[in-house]
Structure formats: C-alpha cells, structure tokens
Structure 1
C-alpha cells in the first residue's frame, strides 16, 4: 500500500478527526462548567447563542462544505490544480459572507435574541455575549473554510493539532477572565466571550499558514484574486443543497430551543447540559462520518465506485457500535456528571429523564451521519436536502411543538419527535445508497459490475 492509500484509510482519517472533536467536546464541557460558576442563566444564554451562531454559519458553510467535497474528488481524479483553486475561492467567499454576518450580529444582538423568544430576563446577558462572539463570526467562517480544505486533502492531523492548542489557550483564558487571576480582570460572561474570540483568531492565523502550504504548489497572497467561474459553479452545485440541508437542521434546533425556552429557563439550561453530554457520544459517530465522506469522495473521483459503495457500510457498522456503547455509558454516569454542572435538583431531574431516550436517539443519528455524508461525497446532495427539508420541517419542528407544547409532554415529547425524525431520514438515506444511483451514473468500475451469485464472492471485490 502506497503512502497516499495509507493516508486515506478510514482509521488514518478518522482518529485525528475524533481527537479534534473530543477536544472540542472537552472545550465545550469546560466552557459550560466554568460558565455554570457564573450562573445557570449564563449557561442558558451560551447554549441559546450557540444555536443562533450555528444558524448563521450555514451561509458560509454552504461554500466550505461544497468546496471540501470537490477538493477530495479532484485530488482523487489527480486534478491537483483544480483542487487548489477551489480551496482559494472557498476561503475568499466564505470570509466575505462571515464578515457580513459579523456586522449584523454585532449591531443587533438584543433584537435578534428577543425575536427568537429568549426570556426577557436573559436578554442583557445575551446582548453582551452575542455582540462579541457573533461579531467575531468572520473568524468562524475562515476557520471552517481553512480546516475543511486541509482536512479533505487527507491531512486530518493538522486541524487536530490546532484544536489542541485552542483548548489549552481557551480554558486558561476562561479561568483567568471568570475568576480574575494572573493579573486579568474579573469579567464573567464578557470574559468568556473575549476568550472565545481570541482563541479563534489565533487558530485562524495558524490554519492560514498551514493552508498556504497544503497543495502541491504553494499559495501566494496574489492567488486570492483567482476566481474560476466554472469551478465555482461546481462548488455551488454541490454546496447549495448542503447549505439548505444544514439550514433545515439548524433552524429546527433553534425552533426546538425556542419551544424549550417557552417551557422555562430551567428546561433550557437542562437541554444545554444534555447537549454537552450528548456531544461525547455524537463525536465518535461524526468522526467516522467525516472520514467516510473524505474517503468516498476520493474513491469516487478515482472511479473506484464499488469500493466506495462498500466503504459506507463498513463505516456505518463501526459507528453504530461506538455510539450505542457510549450512549449506555452516558446513561450509567449521567446523573453524577450533571451534578458537576449544577446543584439545581430540578435541572438535574430534567436531564436524567432524557438519558434513556438518548440511547434510542444516537443510533438514528449515526445512520444519518454515515449515509448522508456518503451520499454527499458522490454529489447526491439534492436528495439529502429534500429528505431533510421534509422530515425536519414536519417532524423535528412540527411534531416537537405538538408533543412538547400542544400535548404538554415537555422535554420528553420533544425528544420523542427528534428520535422519529432521525430514524425516518436514516431509512430514506439507506434506501438511496442501496440503489447506487450516483455511482452508476458516474460509471467507473460500477459500470461493469457483475452481480454476485448468492453464496459466491464476486471476483475482484475489494475489502476496505
């Protein structure tokens, strides 16, 4: 096996992504734990704000995600110069969109939070946090574009190392600003916001240096003037359905957070704490799903369709085993862990009631992540967009309101609706991948595929 093949194995791609996601989880957990020392209201504001930021991120993630898939496909097809141009255009366009969003969030934080039904008693805290962290949204846009481009070349270790550095700096700055140590002023939630922006700025600078040396031909500053209309059209062809897909999910989550906010601040804080716990389970599956997308896109670009098809199932099997075991572990240790974040018995009780439902939720998420990412890797993004648009609108958003608010089932009802949505989208994605539509259309070795006789292994089949 040559160096490139080794670099693109599922394990080689997945483990750095997992470490990066794990560090992000630790960062989020440390953030939540430290902010909880300020107040439960501050925790609720941070959780609510993160949902808002996820929503606005969909605009530039549309470009970054489409570009990432195309970079992997072009490199698989040995078109390195096209991949380089795509990376450059992704950075410039995403940065421009991020700058526009930064201005809006900096100028209108209170109005946006009130429009999204944040309880009035939390608006002063939201105004501070949203204006500062949201004002730095351009940094998130640049980070997303840079890390996605680097990762899809097969270099998943680089973003991982940067995540390590971000964790160390962010936790240290959080501690300094919250508690006023080492000569820093005691700034509370304002300090947490400043810490977030500072860490992102440092990460962007390191990622940019890495990005300039990522492709075969070094990127110079003058290259950022490049714009290839044809390649950008390819980015948008794949990217805009991804943007709609992500928008559907993010806005459904925002709607759900709004429903929970209507129920009460304690429920909103409980959901924020549960997000932290669920992230530990989610990141294992997502690391496999992202690795699958990179690997399958490279295989697809190289015309190795049969290998791409089987890779998705192997990744799915691994992911299901991981998330199920971890959901059980979270169920077993959830109550004492929740007690680390808050002493409010009502919030802990709400969180504990959701731990059992999480065991059902996570396998459905895994099926979605693995198979939708596989479909996206081969350019079947419109299909994943339509199933997300339908299910997330009708079930994740509509049924959540019906169960949670209309029927009065609260958080439990909302979680039941979320589970229904995940399994429906997972089933539809499985049926589409099994049909191999895009793989057959592209040709490659799929065009000459011979159906195996039952009980006889197909000659030339490749194990991944």
Structure 2
C-alpha cells in the first residue's frame, strides 16, 4: 500500500469521525475523546484571553518598569470584575448543560429562558461594577499601597477599560451559551478575533504609527476597548447562527424567580470562590508593593508566565464541567467520577512538565520582557517554587469546576476562604514581611495553601457526598410525580360483562372512584 493510499485512508477516517460527532447532540458528547475535543478550542481561547492582557504588558515593557507595574495593578482590580461576570456565565453553562442532558420535553424554551436571564443579570451586574470602579478607584489604590507615581497611568487604564465592563458581561453570557452547546470552537473564534484586533491596535496605539501618536498606557487601554467590541459582535453572530437559542423579554414575563434562584445558587458561590482567591491575591500584592516597583514587576511577570503552566488545566476543567453537566443531568454518576479522576491526572502531568520547562528556561523567558539582573534572580527563585505550586493549583482548578458541576458549590467556597486567608495571606505576610523572605516567602505560603485546598477537595469528592445528595434528589423528584390511576382496563371490564354477576358494576364504580380520588 502506497503512502498516498494510507494518507487517503486516514483522511477518510477523520472525515467519518467528524461526521459522526457532528450528528450527535451536545448531550451525547460525553466520551473521553469528546472532552479532549472540547478542551483544545478552550485552551486556544484561554491563551488568547491571557494574551490580551499580556500583549499590553509585553509592548509596554520597553517603556520601563513603571507602565508594567501600573497596568499590572489595574488588571488585578479588573480581575475581580471579570470573575464576577464569568461566574454568572459559569452558572448559565451548568444549568443549560443539565437541561440538555436531561429528558425534559420543553428544553428549547428552558434554555432560552436561562440565556435571557443570564444576559440581563450580567448587564445589570456590569453596570453596578462600573459605577463602583469610577466611584472608589482612589480607595482601591490606597488599599493596594500602589506607589503614587503609578496612580496616573494605573487610573487611566482602569477607568478606560472599566467603562466597557457591560460589553464584557454580555460577551461572557454569549460564550457561556456556546460552551453549553459544545461549541467551544466558536468560543475560540471569538477570542481569536478579539486578540487579533488587540494586537494590531496595541501595536499602533502604544508606540504610535504613521500619523497616530504614541499613547503608551492609554493606547493599551483603547486597544482593549476596541477588541472587546469586536469580540462581542463575533460572539453574538455565532450564537444566532449555531444555536437555536432566542433571547426575548417574553421569557421574563412572568419573571422566572425560580431560575434566578438556581442561577444565583451556582453563580454566587462559584464567583465567591474565585473572587475570594483574587481578593487574597490583591492583599498579597499590597504586601509586595511595599517591597518596591522592581519586586512588583517580578510578581507581574512571574504570575503571567506561571499562568501558562496551568492554562490547559483551566481548559480541561471547563470541558470536563460541560461533560459532567450532561452526565449528571442523565444520572450517570459512575461516569462522572471517572471523568474527574482522568482530568486530575492529565492536569498534574501537563502542569508539572510545563512548569519544569519554564523553570529550566526562566532566564530566556524573563529575557523576553527585561534584562534587569535583579528581576532575573528573583524570577528564577519564584519559578522554582512555582513548579510545586502549579500542581496544587491545577488540581484545585479541576476539582472546583467538578464539584460545582455536581451541585456542591459550598465546599469550594468554604475551603478557599479558610485556607487562602490563613495560609496564603497570613503565611505570606509572616514569611515575606515578618521573616524577610520577600516575594519568595509569599510564593511558598501560596504553595502551602494550594496543596492543602487540593487535598481537601479531592477527599470531599472521593467520599461521594455529591452522589448521595443527587440520588436523594432524584428519588424525591420521582416520588412527587403523579402516578397513573389504577383503573380497570377495557378488556377486564369486557370479561366481567361476560360473567355478569354484579362484578361489572363493582368494577365500574371502583374505576370511577379511583379516577375521582386521583384528580382530587
């Protein structure tokens, strides 16, 4: 057999697999290969999202450490906004996947209702958070101990980008719908479009090109705004083209309070878990700000680089959460457990490999941003700790999404609050400031926090409380369903008529009485 024939056969098999996969409904895409297929576009999409912020800092690096530190502090505040909005998107994804995985007869209306409500909630929440940013940004800067010399640049970036928070909220609502329908490739397309625009606009506005002046930090902020507008338009078009979801005010009349309650029941705790983590990071950043602008720059670069190490773990956790929603809605709890353990193993292996690779080449990686020897020296030490921290972080990412998907939203929040403030924040201050270990001591404290949380979440899932609660809820739901009236069938009544000894009359009376009792 020739190489050409082998290639043609391989192409035919690939086409057959794609055709078979396309013919399945989203709820039928629950195999391990489907998790992989869902995760790869999500990985690209997440990489593009990270690049939007990182590209700005990369292009600002030639201007000095102050612009990088200013934008890094502003992004830390904006991350809180992003978490709150993305959490409601997560809630709608979880609810929609459960509807699609279940056996309801009016799934289309239920999905459209959830989508409309998620859009409204995100828009309202975004408006409130925009008002808070504009009203209290000086207080935020004071709490973070930001160097007054950075206030001008940091406030410019924060307020310009923060003014488009509502666009970001609506964007998250659309991408959550695409994820729930297993259209992760479409989410990737929207992020690619947004990132391409951000790169082009940043290159033109930060350093200036042609008649356009060099705007520096303000140019980076303007590029973000343009990119968000483009991303929103692309995401909206993909939702309309590739799903049957139709958003309408009619789905809010009468107002779906029960759906809102379920959405908040998932969204508030999940946002609380991630928001608490970022609030802890903000406090740790306030400790680092005391150590000087150079150390802040080290933190910005190392956090940015370390994020790449567990980037696929985030994509894998999101893909797993989608599949778990389908399986959980269908009551396939053994399959749920298998998917979670497989995702944990993959996350550990990949994160460790990437973290080690980054540490070995830390000088070269940091050299992409700066030649400052102090940044390189501190960065190497931090990236060594990150090899161990990344494993715990990857496990936490997967387990939090898994527990939320199976209905346990309280455990991740409780564990996160207790562990992060006691070990990450308290331990970070003790080691970094009290003992004088600096940023390396703070990273060690965060490593302890991640490992403790990961261990507790693994034990919680393995004990199976989520399974017992789900089975109890299904049994209670089945018990509430009305039973069919135990009436006499027509053949039985005809048989009674053939032997008319009064049994026919008794049978008719019994049947009518039973129907009346059931109706009553």
The one of 76, 95, 99 aligned to 1:74: 99
Aligned equivalent of 2:505: none
Separation in 2, partners of 1:343, 1:203? 34
Residue 129 of structure 1 pairs with residue 157 of structure 2: yes
The 10-residue stretch of structure 1 (56-65 or 181-190) with the greater mean CA deviation from structure 2: 56-65
Separation in 1, partners of 2:197, 2:399? 35
Separation in 1, partners of 2:253, 2:377? 55
Separation in 1, partners of 2:211, 2:425? 47
| Matching of residues 229-378 of structure 1 within 5 Å | 229-378=257-406
Give deviations 1:401-443, integer Å, cap 9, x for gaps: 1111111111111011111011111011111110111122222
- Deviation of residue 226 (structure 1)? 7.0
Contact 2:112-2:246 at 8 Å conserved across structures: no
Residue 31 of structure 1 pairs with residue 31 of structure 2: no
The one of 12, 22, 36 aligned to 2:47: 22
The 10-residue stretch of structure 1 (64-73 or 218-227) with the greater mean CA deviation from structure 2: 218-227
Contact 2:392-2:447 at 8 Å conserved across structures: yes
The one of 52, 72, 76 aligned to 1:47: 72
Contact 1:320-1:366 at 8 Å conserved across structures: yes
| Matching of residues 210-221 of structure 1 within 5 Å | 210-213=238-241, 215-220=243-248
Aligned equivalent of 2:459: 431
Contact 1:174-1:192 at 8 Å conserved across structures: yes
- 1:393/1:60 Cα in 2 relative to 1: closer, same or farther (>3 Å)? same
Aligned equivalent of 1:400: 428
The 10-residue stretch of structure 1 (70-79 or 159-168) with the greater mean CA deviation from structure 2: 70-79
- Deviation of residue 374 (structure 1)? 0.8
Residue 13 of structure 1 pairs with residue 38 of structure 2: yes
- Deviation of residue 103 (structure 1)? 2.7
Give deviations 1:255-298, integer Å, cap 9, x for gaps: 11111101111110011011221121121111111111111111
> How many pairs does the alignment contain?
447
- Deviation of residue 353 (structure 1)? 1.5
Secondary structure at 2:247 match in 1: coil
Separation in 1, partners of 2:126, 2:70? 22
The 10-residue stretch of structure 1 (230-239 or 140-149) with the greater mean CA deviation from structure 2: 140-149
Residue 410 of structure 1 pairs with residue 438 of structure 2: yes
Contact 2:30-2:327 at 8 Å conserved across structures: no
Contact 1:62-1:239 at 8 Å conserved across structures: yes
Aligned equivalent of 1:120: 148
Residue 57 of structure 1 pairs with residue 82 of structure 2: yes
Aligned equivalent of 1:450: none
Contact 2:270-2:409 at 8 Å conserved across structures: yes
Secondary structure at 1:183 match in 2: coil
The 10-residue stretch of structure 1 (200-209 or 360-369) with the greater mean CA deviation from structure 2: 200-209
Secondary structure at 1:341 match in 2: coil
Aligned equivalent of 1:142: 170
Secondary structure at 2:49 match in 1: helix
- Deviation of residue 215 (structure 1)? 4.0
Aligned equivalent of 2:255: 227
The 10-residue stretch of structure 1 (35-44 or 182-191) with the greater mean CA deviation from structure 2: 182-191
Contact 1:89-1:226 at 8 Å conserved across structures: no
Which structure's CA Rg is the greater one?
A: 2
TM-score by length of 1: 0.91
Secondary structure at 1:20 match in 2: helix
- 1:118/1:60 Cα in 2 relative to 1: closer, same or farther (>3 Å)? same
Separation in 2, partners of 1:146, 1:217? 10
Separation in 2, partners of 1:394, 1:271? 21
Give the CA RMSD over aligned residues.
Answer: 2.1
- 1:23/1:111 Cα in 2 relative to 1: closer, same or farther (>3 Å)? same
Contact 1:92-1:224 at 8 Å conserved across structures: no
- 1:224/1:129 Cα in 2 relative to 1: closer, same or farther (>3 Å)? farther
Contact 2:75-2:158 at 8 Å conserved across structures: no
Aligned equivalent of 2:511: none
Contact 2:269-2:409 at 8 Å conserved across structures: yes
Secondary structure at 1:112 match in 2: helix
TM-score by length of 2: 0.82
Secondary structure at 1:37 match in 2: helix
Unaligned runs of 5+ in 2: 1-19, 476-520
The 10-residue stretch of structure 1 (325-334 or 207-216) with the greater mean CA deviation from structure 2: 207-216
Contact 1:177-1:187 at 8 Å conserved across structures: yes
The 10-residue stretch of structure 1 (49-58 or 382-391) with the greater mean CA deviation from structure 2: 49-58
Separation in 2, partners of 1:100, 1:429? 33
- 1:360/1:219 Cα in 2 relative to 1: closer, same or farther (>3 Å)? same
* Greater RCO, CA 8 A, separation 6+: 1
Separation in 1, partners of 2:128, 2:29? 41
